[in-house]
Amino acid sequence: MEPIRERWTSRRAFLAAAFGGSALFWGAQTLPDALRRHGGGAFVIPYLLAMAVVAAPLVALEYGLGLTRQAAAPKALRETARRFEWIGWLAVVAGWLVACFAGSVAVEALRGIVGIASPAASPAAVEPVGGGNVVAARYDTLSAGIGAGFWLVAWLIAAGGAPRVGRVLSPLAAIGLSLLLVALAAAVAGDPDHEGLRVAFTPDFGALRDPACWRAACAQALFTVALGQGTLTAFAGFLPTRTDVANNARMTASGATVIAVLGGAAAMSFLGVSGAADGEPVSDLLARGPAMVLSRVPAAIDHLDFLPWDEARLAARAAWLVFVAAAALGVGVGIVRAAAVALGDKFNLGRGAAALLAALPPLAGAMVAAAGGKVGALPGALGAVAPGGLCALAALLGCVAIGWGGPLSGFMARMNAVSETRVGARWRFAVRWLAPAALLWVVVEWARSLAPAGEWERPDWLALAQPAAAVGSLMSALLLARLGGHGEAEPFDPSDEFAAGDAAGAEE
């Protein structure tokens, strides 16, 4: 095993980098729309179950893989079996697409801050001159500059390795959480009828009979803890070798759930303020898509009656936009650092060079987005669908690779050798059966959603047949994995603290 290149300075730094940005970002960005579509407060039930039986075991799986192999996802899976390396690279690509979406949201938030600080630079304040589209020119230049600056900052942070990432993201997550709590209190105070929270959390238990509700809960769980992006595996590779994997996984899942729910509640409360001021139902606002959360919250702050001064409202708008940009930066830095570790493992690159290569794809996406039009919308659109599709596919294939294509008993022994809290039969069942079935369901529906509308009409019996089809397809994938064997075994070294785990796995 190669020597460890860097270490986290503390557990708090590790947890903040692993899930702080993703929970803050996706909680405010996508959870409100999921609550509206799938039964309001009733959606919390399948969401919590998905976090417990799908997300938490998968977080432990990714943590254990990175901790025991001390590598990013591609190399860690390659050491399990050569044929599994491509699964790790699929997770890296999915992470890059997610970074494109997070970057596009950050650019919009930072453009809003620029507009507050300098109204003349705001596109809305610029008029076309001489028949030319000066607005578009200003908009493109400003977006390109902000996007380049955003990813330059992400590269500088990621190039410093785990110590710098932890030193930056730990206080950033704390600031983001503080701003979120303040925003939630302000939004609740500004919405005396609590219309936003009522729409979000009034339960419609009839929605639980719809399979789409449970599928959306699994997808939201992926968003919350950044599964299938290679981030957790790479970051766990910088933990001390005696770290308690299972306990860290539980802390990640529970902490991310609380933060995400708080983010969704704050966003919904602000939408309640905006809807009451404009005379528009909150459900109609959300029906326009998750992007409404970003665009309507600053406008809602202008309607907070307890902020009597314009300067106070401008400061509050800037604080919300800073929160959004900080959460997006947390997502972007995590993905860039994880991709840099993968590239460094593969091509033996230094931190700076690997981080630069890892930042180039999302930077290119930001430049394309600055072009505007249909082409400019492509990076954000790809990033919007990646978490529900490619990330779920990468997580699914990782479950199959470790649970069925590799020596699972040896992997569990490795994890238990360094953990006070042991994983056992329930975790094995979750990794081999529950999580793959749920993820396959998400992937199948994601693939079906990409088909052009009007191609076919979904029959009523399909909702009942989907679980059976998912199990059948999963069994086929498991059979292929088992036919391939367990891959190349590592040499047995009695001095290796994980050697006993490998020996146990060879006997499986």
Mean predicted confidence (pLDDT) in 190-204: 80
Q: Say which residue, 244 or 118, is predicted with more confidence.
A: 244
Looking at the chain, the whole-number percentage of residues with pLDDT higher than 70 is 76
In CATH terms, the fold of domain 11-451+459-506 is Amino acid/polyamine transporter I (1.20.1740)
Q: Is the pLDDT of residue 24 over 60?
A: yes
Does the structure show a pLDDT above 60 at 4? no
Collapse the DSSP code of 364 into the 3-class scheme (helix H, G, I; strand E, B; otherwise coil) and give the result. helix
Report, as an integer, the average pLDDT of 195-220: 87
User: What's the alpha-carbon Rg for the chain, to the nearest Å?
Assistant: 23
Alpha helices by DSSP H, 70-133: 73-80, 85-117
Whether the per-residue pLDDT at 297 is higher than 80: the answer is no
Per-residue pLDDT at 334: 94
Any idea which residue has 């959390």 for tokens?
A: 201
User: What pLDDT was estimated at residue 2?
Assistant: 47
Please state the rounded mean pLDDT for residues 193-202: 80
| pLDDT score at 354 | 94
pLDDT > 90: percent of the chain:
28
- Domain boundaries of the chain, sorted by first residue: 11-451+459-506
To which residue do tokens 């930077």 refer?
A: 363
In the predicted model, what is the mean pLDDT of residues 94-114? 85
* pLDDT tens-digit map of 320-379: 888 888 899 999 999 999 999 999 999 998 899 999 999 999 998 888 877 765 555 666
pLDDT of res. 431: 92
298 has pLDDT over 80: no
Position 397 scores a pLDDT of 92
The CA distance from 301 to 297, in Å, is 6
Tokens for 394, please give them.
């990468």
Residue of 281, 264, 296 lying closest to 197 (CA atoms)? 264
pLDDT higher than 70, residue 84: yes
d(CA 343, CA 234): 11
Global pTM reads 0.84
DSSP 8-state class, residue 433 = I
> So what's the pLDDT on residue 379?
61
Mean pLDDT, rounded, of the chain: 78
Give the pLDDT mean for 161-190.
87
145 vs 374, higher pLDDT: 145
Does residue 121 have a pLDDT over 60? Answer: no
Q: If you average pLDDT over residues 97-110, what whole number do you get?
A: 85
> Which residue from 201, 205, 222 is spatially nearest to 213, judged by alpha carbons?
205
pLDDT band at 106 (very low <50, low <70, confident <90, very high): confident
Q: Give residue-wise pLDDT tens across range 469-498.
A: 444 545 544 544 444 444 333 333 333 433
**Comparison of pLDDT for 281 and 217, the residue scoring more:** 217
CA distance 34 to 42: 11
How far apart are the two ends of the chain, measured CA to CA in Å? 23
Q: What is the pLDDT of residues 230-279, one digit of tens each?
A: 899 999 999 888 888 888 898 999 999 999 998 888 888 887 777 777 77
